[in-house]
Amino acid sequence: MTEPRPTREHLYEIIFEADTRAGRAFDLAVLLLIVSSIVTVMLESVPRLRARYGTWFDTIEWTLTVLFTLEYLARLSCVRRPLRYAWSLFGVIDLLAILPSYLSLFASGTESLVVIRALRLLRVFRVFKLARFLSEADVLLRALRASVPKMTVFLITVLIIITIVGTAMYLVEGAENPGFANIPQSVYWAIVTVTTVGFGDSVPLTTTGKLLASLLMITGFGILAVPSGIMAAEIFQQRGPRQPTTQVCPECLAEGHDHDAAFCKLCGGKLN
């Protein structure tokens, strides 16, 4: 394992993979630095703290930015096709994560954009690559992907309901209630209500408005149940006893056999 290798490949394994001890250590260190960087940006936004520890924050921020820049260059240098990495999703995120700091030299107010670094934390799942977390994340991802068509149908329906109820509330409340002064604001209220967030910054005042709101809230009850139902069914589907194996029929190449299948369900050929 410790026999001399070509450095670039070795570097690649440390930076991009998380299978070796060095690779995991590197990834964990990067994650820790990202979290420190985000916490610094957050605390820096509090005027009281910035006044007191401002120079400390700046020092930490710039040290981390330099480290992340070196890391980005190292990634570019050790990958076989640098351009392909640069244009990949994680490559773009990695670049976006360092750019704001440099931009802040020219335009103030852009430092906070550094929180884009939070997206890099998604790499955390890579570190647990060998553990069961990845397969669980995979089940969730597959369930989410499988639920996209149903969720789309659901969201379009909800948006239509929200538009109509929002406008109705504008017609009913608009004249007397500044919280429903125009349709976009009423639609915003409908979203706040149907998602059961209920800020309470604008509430219906007329009797008709309250009736309409009651109807929307009770409908929201049923509506809220739909995505839970979709997700529960999808997650349950993705796993467990009835989940098809990846076994392929040696005769007709059919897939999707049950765990207890001994013969191909399509051609009757014997499975392994």
Q: How far is the CB of 79 from a copy of itself (least distance, A)?
A: 24
Give the DSSP letter string of 116-134: GHHHHGGGHHHHTTTSTHH
Q: Pick from 36, 104, 206, 237: which binds a copy of itself (CB under 8 A)?
A: 237
User: What does the alpha-carbon distance between residue 98 and residue 76 come to, in Å, rounded to a whole number?
Assistant: 14
Q: Between 12 and 57, whose beta carbon lies closer to a copy of itself? A: 57
Which residues are within 8 A (CB) of 26 and not within 5 positions of it... i.e. 6 or more apart? Answer: 14, 15
Ranges within 86-145 binding a copy of itself (CB under 8 A): 109, 112-113, 115-116, 118-119, 121-122, 124-125, 131-133, 136-137, 139-140, 143-144
Q: Pick from 22, 76, 95, 235: which binds a copy of itself (CB under 8 A)?
A: 235
Q: How far is the CB of 141 from a copy of itself (least distance, A)?
A: 9
Q: How far is the CB of 71 from a copy of itself (least distance, A)?
A: 19
3-state helix, strand, coil in the chain (%, to 5): 70, 0, 30
User: What does the alpha-carbon distance between residue 148 and residue 12 come to, in Å, rounded to a whole number?
Assistant: 35
Q: Which amino acid does the sequence have at 60?
A: I
- Is the distance from CB of 105 to CB of 131 less than 8 angstroms? no
Q: Pick from 6, 80, 262, 272: which binds a copy of itself (CB under 8 A)?
A: 262
Q: Pick from 21, 84, 239, 250: which binds a copy of itself (CB under 8 A)?
A: 239
Count Cβ atoms within 10 A of the Cβ of residue 155 and give its class: 0-12 exposed, 13-18 middle, 19 or more buried.
exposed
The residue count for the chain:
272
Judged by phi (left if over 0) then psi (alpha if -120 to 50, else beta), residue 211 lies in alpha
Q: Between 86 and 179, whose beta carbon lies closer to a copy of itself? A: 179
Q: Between 9 and 176, whose beta carbon lies closer to a copy of itself? A: 176
Q: Pick from 22, 33, 43, 95: which binds a copy of itself (CB under 8 A)?
A: 43
Q: Which DSSP letter does residue 108 get?
A: T
Q: How far is the CB of 107 from a copy of itself (least distance, A)?
A: 13
16 binds a copy of itself (CB under 8 A): no
User: What does the alpha-carbon distance between residue 264 and residue 269 come to, in Å, rounded to a whole number?
Assistant: 5
In the numeric block, which tokens belong to residue 68? 């992340």
Ranges within 150-179 binding a copy of itself (CB under 8 A): 150-158, 160, 163-164, 167, 170-171, 174
- Is the distance from CB of 191 to CB of 164 less than 8 angstroms? no
18 binds a copy of itself (CB under 8 A): no
Ranges within 202-221 binding a copy of itself (CB under 8 A): 203, 207, 210, 213-214, 217-218, 220-221
Q: How far is the CB of 33 from a copy of itself (least distance, A)?
A: 15
Ranges within 176-205 binding a copy of itself (CB under 8 A): 181-185, 187-188, 191-193, 195-201, 203
Query: 81 φ, ψ to 5°?
Result: -120, 90
28 binds a copy of itself (CB under 8 A): no
- Is the distance from CB of 212 to CB of 204 less than 8 angstroms? yes
Q: Between 59 and 195, whose beta carbon lies closer to a copy of itself? A: 195
